[in-house]
Amino acid sequence: MAFSFILLLSSVAAAFLLFIRRIRYRRMGLPPGSLGYPLIGETLQLIKAYKTENPEPFIDERVARYGSVFMTHLFGEPTIFSADAEMNRFVLQNEGKLFEGSYPASICNLLGKHSLVLMKGSLHKRMHSLTMSFANSSIIKDHLMLDIDRLVQFNLDSWSSRVLLMEEAKKARRKVAEELTVVVMKRRTEEEEGGERKKDMLAALLAADEGFSDEEIVDFLVAILVAGYETTSTIMTLAVKFVTETPLALAQLKVVNETLRIANIIGGVFRRAMTDVEIKGYKIPKGWKVFSSFRAVHLDPNHFKDARTFNPWRWQSNSVTRSPSNVFAPFGGGPRICPGYELARVALSVFLHRLVTGFRFTYLHMQDSIPLDRFQKG
């Protein structure tokens, strides 16, 4: 009896505190929404949704109830969730002025403390520019295109008659850090002994004024390789899935933008407000997280007709999209736009070209696999 009374009292107290908190936040001018349970917020609901075949209800339900900008509580911190294209652009363009990159501790541990994603200020600007300088269109055209084509053909030639794409896409990740450590140490020794200095990213990192250690360089390169490899391999896998399910798309291969739009490899980005920010009639308090969701915008029927249907022909004209250049952001934007976005597009295009000219597709509805049979050559 006493236990039941204590439980009832605790429930009433918790409900009262939630009510008081809701009123206080409303007076502060925050967006509508819910912070969920104490401490854990709505993190469990988000994780649960992404373990299902359709994670969209987490966003859909809240957008329908609160609008495209709402308040939630994720990964231990109060967060403003934006499914609004205009607000997302505002957040991205004001990097370093009103907002700064800030990710949950679990993501930071995975990326490494010297990752480009976690760098800030002048160091991030310098390292971002350095990274882009080795992956711009002229470098790709003059130096990388033949290598990309050669590597794609080499890996496709190694496939057997049946391929489990998800397994193939992740094989090369296992020993990256160890191999890079050996390369960095060897290159540093060669330069210290007066050897020929090469003109690549590693040479630029070794010669940087910041005096990066081997550990810092390896951490930085691993983060770039993992980010580029994981996202590119995943988008390639999904592109094969989509074109297999849409055979007519193979004739024209207008699938790159549509795959990027509907697959949403970068679902969104976290930022932290550096000061109180007012936007769209709401206030974002200093220190609060903001999650700009690209996925929510790309799958919004207000921007793309039949937004959740794979339709590569929508990119042939603007008749089926509404201001696509303003809302299409598969690689983010602003000062932190993915530095390898041009390289990713080229790699995907080369892969699809070689794939459709060398294989035929049979979709067997097997989980996580698309069996592929090579065309007979000669």
Tell me the domain boundaries of the chain: 75-374
What is the C-alpha to C-alpha distance for residues 340 and 179, in angstroms, rounded to an integer?
22
Annotated binding site: 338
- Confidence at residue 265, expressed as pLDDT on a 0 to 100 scale: 77
What length is written for the chain?
378
- Angle (CA) 264-67-269 rounded to 5° is 35
- Confidence at residue 377, expressed as pLDDT on a 0 to 100 scale: 34
- Confidence at residue 359, expressed as pLDDT on a 0 to 100 scale: 74
Q: List, for residues 237-283, the tens digit of each pLDDT value.
A: 888 888 777 777 766 667 888 988 988 878 899 999 999 999 999 99
75-374 homologous superfamily: Cytochrome P450 (1.10.630.10)
Q: Which residues of the chain have pLDDT under 50?
A: 166, 169-170, 172-174, 320-321, 368-378
Annotated binding site for heme: 338
- Confidence at residue 104, expressed as pLDDT on a 0 to 100 scale: 81
- Confidence at residue 118, expressed as pLDDT on a 0 to 100 scale: 84
The model's pTM: 0.76
- Confidence at residue 313, expressed as pLDDT on a 0 to 100 scale: 87
